[in-house]
Structure 1
């Protein structure tokens, strides 16, 4: 629920990678990358000279995988040969490089910690688990959005976090481990809808274009009071931010805080200069939910001013059970 929560991927059945508006991108050295919107054949990544950050990362990847004793990130199993790596492995490595401004040692450290955490936590299993309906019903949905303004994709993945649906803060946030398990599961659901395993479009080098494999997040605070936040809510928020910042780099394209009182907009204006410029560019604070249609287009649910139907009918949630 905090301002610097990343992923919150962090999202449905269409493939944004195969539906990009632009058919070409270029790398830092000007190499043209051509992708067919209907092609399912992985493209060959542009040749990398040995000094390229991605080539350096590939060269040290075997040691990272050996140290972590694990190789899965975002549902992709990382692998490499003596001098090259599969297309999907390069996608994941490129995300970690971009998150660290092409600093290879920093990207290596973050990838290693992410691999260790994923081995221990098994977030893919969390995604497929059955969660408590009493605690989390109506709190999170994933859906596709079409023709989002200023997007590089014709179809984007959006995750809605409906904090106004919380009926009992102690029940929802009091068991932090249960809340985190649910929240991480929702993140993984969104990531699965990016379809990285069948992606065909390379991610541009750092500073040379947008990453098309990122999700949009919407945090809806209708009927949430900002004057007093219970201790359990603050604790759950803090832990969520820590996890997504560490282990989910480059999974967020934009983040919207909607139905936020004007006093919170004023507070965000004060905090804004203290945040990284790249982070600030992704954040948007809206006082009313129906303002979202102006930001994301007509495919958003009706409650946000669009023609997408009700969130409950068009959005996908996690598996739930009574209790």
Structure 2
């Protein structure tokens, strides 16, 4: 795949991926730089080692990043009345079974949503916020500076992955507004296409038993690799069994609360006179 990299970069007109500036091998037969190889391994692992499929996905992701500018979106200031309290990126030490001394975990706290129309109604704004949270997660993985390699997908786990927690405390599964469904579908589509091999296990906490049963039935139609990365539980306090005592008390651990020990997108109280200007600035950033 390294041999094709120069062509892919030229075709995309863009070379940054996950905060790493991709670089083709300096000479034929020589390996690409270490950080570049990490990125290539992620795309290869996402495609079971199939070079053509991995190259196609990488090209699509590069083109998307050139257009969307996610590193700029990561620095965007969002309306805190819409998104504050909804997402956190934190560090956890001594996670059971992890090969790392410290791991990254992203929390999506859906119970923090006070007004679904306000948070999810502007789909473009929600996606930009969700991308900002993902880019903060990837930035915390330090892919551009690490010296730990990623093995071939058949020879061991990728140590450069984040855990993701979806907290549904006080969220109703019975009457999901259309704007919530649209936002969820759009996010899944985008992250599946452009953020392969960034997450290890997804933990769904505070999920009613009846919904766990329904999701369990749906697993028959899912790829086994996807199912292996999903863990459901009825109570948030159970999470410490999987992620250790470093999680907060709400999740059964002894660690600090999310608000005390996390990174989040930037927020600012939206003033009525600034709403149009901010929307125009965000649109201009995407051009």
Partner residue, 2:27? 82
Partner residue, 1:206? 153
Pick from 56, 66, 84: which aligns with 2:10? Answer: 66
SS of residue matched to 1:145: strand
For residues 183-222 of structure 1, give each alpha carbon's deviation from its aligned partner in whole angstroms, at most 9, with x where no partner exists.
Answer: 0000000100000111101100111000000000000000
Distance 1:60 1:127 in 2: 29
Partner residue, 2:67? 120
Distance 1:107 1:311 in 2: 36
Matched, 1:320 2:284: no
RMSD, matched Cα: 0.7
Please state which structure has a larger fraction of its residues in helix.
Answer: 2
TM-superposed CA distance for 1:162, in Å, is: 0.3
TM-superposed CA distance for 1:88, in Å, is: 0.3
Distance 1:310 1:65 in 2: 42
For residues 70-113 of structure 1, give each alpha carbon's deviation from its aligned partner in whole angstroms, at most 9, with x where no partner exists.
Answer: 00000000012233310000000000000000100000000000
For residues 155-189 of structure 1, give each alpha carbon's deviation from its aligned partner in whole angstroms, at most 9, with x where no partner exists.
Answer: 10000000000000000000000000000000000
SS of residue matched to 1:293: helix
TM-superposed CA distance for 1:152, in Å, is: 1.4
Matched, 1:161 2:84: no
Unaligned runs of 5+ in 2: 271-287
TM-superposed CA distance for 1:275, in Å, is: 0.9
Partner residue, 1:19? none
For residues 113-134 of structure 1, give each alpha carbon's deviation from its aligned partner in whole angstroms, at most 9, with x where no partner exists.
Answer: 0000000000011111111101
Within 5 A, what are the aligned runs for 1:1-323? Answer: 57-80=1-24, 81-83=26-28, 84-323=31-270
Extract structure 1 runs of 4+ deviating beyond 4 A: none
User: Structure 1-normalised TM-score?
Assistant: 0.82
TM-superposed CA distance for 1:278, in Å, is: 1.0
Distance 1:231 1:58 in 2: 43
For residues 8-36 of structure 1, give each alpha carbon's deviation from its aligned partner in whole angstroms, at most 9, with x where no partner exists.
Answer: xxxxxxxxxxxxxxxxxxxxxxxxxxxxx
SS of residue matched to 2:7: helix
Distance 2:100 2:5 in 1: 30
Distance 1:313 1:270 in 2: 38
SS of residue matched to 2:158: coil
SS of residue matched to 2:231: strand
Distance 2:22 2:145 in 1: 14
SS of residue matched to 1:217: strand
Distance 2:255 2:77 in 1: 27
Contact 1:59–1:82 under 8 Å retained in 2: no
User: Structure 2-normalised TM-score?
Assistant: 0.92
Unaligned runs of 5+ in 1: 1-56
User: Which piece of structure 1 moves more, 214-223 or 265-274?
Assistant: 265-274
Structure number with higher relative contact order (C-alpha < 8 Å, ≥ 6 residues apart): 1
